Amino acid sequence: MDVHPLYYTLSGAIACQYAFMLPTSNPTNAIVFLAGDLKIPDMFKAGFILNFTCLSVFFLMNLFWGPIIFNYSNYEYLNTTLV
């Protein structure tokens, strides 16, 4: 594909951290959920908005600032063959 691997791995790694929807996403969500103050549909509504906002902002930052910060174009594909 001749694309810098950081372009995909950075996006995947950061996107995995945006798990705001469910109680298992982080300890604070689990504590609030177990206290009985919130139900899963309530967490899903707020988490969906956060996930959508964070992924949109990250997509735009990676699209516009990623090539400047990480220099995606300076990638030399190493054509290695197994002997």
- The DSSP annotation for 43-56 comes to HHHHHHHHHHHHHH
- pLDDT at residue 79 is higher than 70: no
pLDDT beyond 80 at 23: no
Whole-model pTM: value is 0.60
Q: Which two tokens stand for residue 65?
A: 């600032």
Question: Are the beta carbons of 10 and 3 closer than 8 angstroms?
Answer: no
Quick one: which of 22, 21, 18 has its CA closest to 58? Answer: 18
Tell me what the pLDDT averaged over the chain comes to. 77
CA distance 25 to 80: 40
